Amino acid sequence: MRNVLIVDDEIQIRKGLRWKVDWEELGFHIVAEAANGGGALTKLEEEKVDLVMTDIRMPIMDGIELARHCREKYPNTKVIVLSGYSDFEYVKSLMKKGVRDYLLKPVDPVELAEVLRQMKNEIDHDRLRQLELDRVKRQARTQFQEVQEQYLLSLVKEEWFQYSLVKERLEQLKLDMLLKEDLKVQFISVGVRDFSGQANRVNELRMAFQMLCKELVEPRPGMFAFYDLGYTNMMHFLIILDQNFDNHPTQLTKTIQYQIKKLLKLETVIGIGNPVNGLSELKTGYISSLLSWSQNQLNHHSQVIDEHVRREELMDFSPDLEKHIINAIEQMDMSRFHKELESLLGETTTQSVLSSSIVANRILFCLGSIAKKYNVENNNAQRLIWECQQVIWQLNDQSKVIAYLTELAKLIVAQIHDTRTTDGKQIVDMVRRYIDQYYGNDISLTILSELFHINSAYLSEIFKVQIGKNFSEYLTEVRVKEAKKFLKDPHLKIIDVANLVGFSSSAYFSIVFKKHVNETPANYRKSFDPV
């Protein structure tokens, strides 16, 4: 049904219009009346109106002034003017100023019905167009949010290569607030449970749970929600503790529990992590929230666990230390890896149980990052990662933790060995997956050769053989494909899109885009704008 507002200073004319046609049969509902343009504007603020029928001559504000206001403030609202014969030419001249159509007084019922049918078609067409536009915009915003979330996850779980590249990518993804020198953040990990006895209900509501968490933080600056495939039925929140933001973890946990209970009828288990300082401590902050969450009681309903590790107990797990572990694995040196493991988790360490668990998780994340890079994602690897995580959370058997980490490392080393002794297909597949995920980064053959420990000339050769195109052609195609998705988002400038997909210059981006798509980014974007 389409809503109508009738505006005329004579009450008899308003009543007459009501009786001239069967509005409901024609698909319209009269929601309000007004005696002049001023009163009509008040009604428009109160009601959703699709069509305004207004007299042209009224006190306080006439119909033409009302039409002008509608065009500026309510552009999707159609305006039909009622006029006498003396105003006929005047009304025709105003058709470009917000008036969609006109009817001469006294209004003929047949003409009124015909105009309403025409307006109904136009309103329905506009609604469909707006729905499609909203869908495209929502899809584009979701695409951008997904890239943000993926990068946040990589910051807390994967290896960092160069701080300058991390800084550049955070700026491109509008996450530069994480670059503040006095940055202080806290993580919250939220899991859901169901005690209704309905099988698979949590799994069925997983998507709704994720969307609800994202909606909760969307209007809150300095808060981000992301999903980690390693922890099903959970969502994670990064909270920037800043005096400029009204971000209180306690308040967020209450809101999360209330909304999930109210809307999804699920129980929540929330782990609150240690407040940490700066980018370098993000991984520790994330792991501490997981560790808090892991201390929940299985048979209890909603819980909030705040198991902080005292800062003086935390070991300084530096980027250099992380690099030593990664290098030992990628150089297939199990003896060196075992020495690192013993020095960090062996019997001679004097760390607390909670601190040791955080270190063990950091090592597990290192191994998980390498496993992902080398596509060690078989069932055996997933089982080892999961079982190792469970043992870490139990906080009672460090030797078993070391055994699981060692077994996982051996599995990864074997895969790396196999990869480097094949015809190159596995290496090319890994490089391609890396490009598909990190297309927005500064990627070159030199960087990739260092990353995967392979000669750049040989990599270039086998990439062309396996893919059928050279490295730069493939990278450009991926960037253009992703750019097309981002261009659907009207909130992003062309230079923003260029930066997001790896171009430092909007001019060069436009040249490359036009070469592949046969139109400029600006013209491509216009195809998604309402006519």
Indicate the domain borders of the chain. 2-107, 180-308, 319-420, 425-526
- Determine the Cα angle at 119 with ends 115 and 123, to 5°: 175
- Going from the C-alpha of 521 to that of each of 341, 494, 512, 524, the distances in angstroms are 51, 7, 10, 5
Q: Cα separation of 307 and 316, whole Å?
A: 19
Residue 288 CA neighbour count, 13 Å, CB half: 24
Q: Cα separation of 341 and 402, whole Å?
A: 7
- Going from the C-alpha of 453 to that of each of 94, 417, 433, 446, the distances in angstroms are 71, 12, 16, 10
Confidence at 297, pLDDT banded by 50, 70, 90? confident
Q: Cα separation of 8 and 31, whole Å?
A: 15
CATH superfamily of 2-107: Response regulator (3.40.50.2300)
Q: Report, as an integer, the average pLDDT of 45-50.
A: 91
| Higher local confidence (pLDDT), 501 or 354 | 501
User: What per-residue confidence (pLDDT) applies to 319?
Assistant: 81
Does residue 64 register a pLDDT over 50? yes
Does residue 403 register a pLDDT over 60? yes
User: What per-residue confidence (pLDDT) applies to 426?
Assistant: 85
Question: Residue 68's closest CA among 83, 54, 89?
Answer: 54
| Higher local confidence (pLDDT), 120 or 103 | 120
Phi, psi of 464 (to 5 degrees): -65, -40
User: Who contacts 509 (Cβ-Cβ below 8 Å, separation ≥6)?
Assistant: 483, 494, 497, 498, 501, 503, 521
- Determine the Cα angle at 77 with ends 24 and 30, to 5°: 25
| Higher local confidence (pLDDT), 245 or 122 | 122
Helix (H) or strand (E) holding 2, with range, is: strand 2-7
Give the global pTM: 0.69
Q: Report, as an integer, the average pLDDT of 172-186.
A: 90
Q: Cα separation of 177 and 237, whole Å?
A: 15
Phi, psi of 271 (to 5 degrees): -105, 125
pLDDT in tens, 266-284: 999 999 999 999 998 899 9
User: What per-residue confidence (pLDDT) applies to 40?
Assistant: 92
Does residue 356 register a pLDDT over 80? yes
Q: Report, as an integer, the average pLDDT of 315-336.
A: 87
Both structure tokens of 154: 């990589």
Q: Report, as an integer, the average pLDDT of 421-430.
A: 82
pLDDT in tens, 434-492: 899 889 888 889 888 888 888 889 999 999 999 999 999 999 999 999 999 888 887 78
| Higher local confidence (pLDDT), 246 or 206 | 206
Q: State the burial class of residue 197 (Cβ atoms within 10 Å of its Cβ: 0-12, 13-18, 19+).
A: exposed
Q: Cα separation of 305 and 272, whole Å?
A: 6
The pairing of beta strand 234-240 with beta strand 78-83: unpaired
| Higher local confidence (pLDDT), 226 or 425 | 226
Does residue 325 register a pLDDT over 70? yes
Does residue 91 register a pLDDT over 70? no
The DSSP-derived string for 128-142 is HHHHHHHHHHHHHHH
User: What per-residue confidence (pLDDT) applies to 481?
Assistant: 94
Q: Report, as an integer, the average pLDDT of 220-247.
A: 86
CATH superfamily of 425-526: Homeodomain-like (1.10.10.60)
Helix (H) or strand (E) holding 360, with range, is: helix 353-373
Question: What is the residue-averaged pLDDT of the chain?
Answer: 86
CB 328 within 8 A of CB 372: no
Q: Cα separation of 245 and 390, whole Å?
A: 36
Cα-Cα end-to-end distance for the chain: 23
User: What per-residue confidence (pLDDT) applies to 505?
Assistant: 87
Both structure tokens of 268: 């929540």
**What residues pair up with 82 in beta bridges, in sequence order?**
55, 103
Q: Report, as an integer, the average pLDDT of 336-363.
A: 86
- The tokens 């885009």 sit on which residue? 513
Lowest mean pLDDT among 33-37, 65-69, 137-141: 137-141
User: What per-residue confidence (pLDDT) applies to 531?
Assistant: 43
Question: Residue 87's closest CA among 61, 71, 107, 105?
Answer: 105
Both structure tokens of 214: 């994202």
CATH superfamily of 180-308: Reverse transcriptase/Diguanylate cyclase domain (3.30.70.270)
Does residue 315 register a pLDDT over 80? no
Both structure tokens of 373: 């890079």
CB 354 within 8 A of CB 309: yes
3-state secondary structure of 453: coil
- Determine the Cα angle at 247 with ends 283 and 219, to 5°: 100
- Going from the C-alpha of 197 to that of each of 134, 202, 434, the distances in angstroms are 38, 11, 42
User: Who contacts 499 (Cβ-Cβ below 8 Å, separation ≥6)?
Assistant: 171, 172, 440
% the chain with pLDDT above 70: 92
User: What per-residue confidence (pLDDT) applies to 530?
Assistant: 47
Q: Report, as an integer, the average pLDDT of 115-132.
A: 85
Helix (H) or strand (E) holding 7, with range, is: strand 2-7
User: What per-residue confidence (pLDDT) applies to 94?
Assistant: 61
User: What per-residue confidence (pLDDT) applies to 213?
Assistant: 92
| Higher local confidence (pLDDT), 110 or 242 | 110
Confidence at 363, pLDDT banded by 50, 70, 90? very high
Q: Cα separation of 35 and 54, whole Å?
A: 9
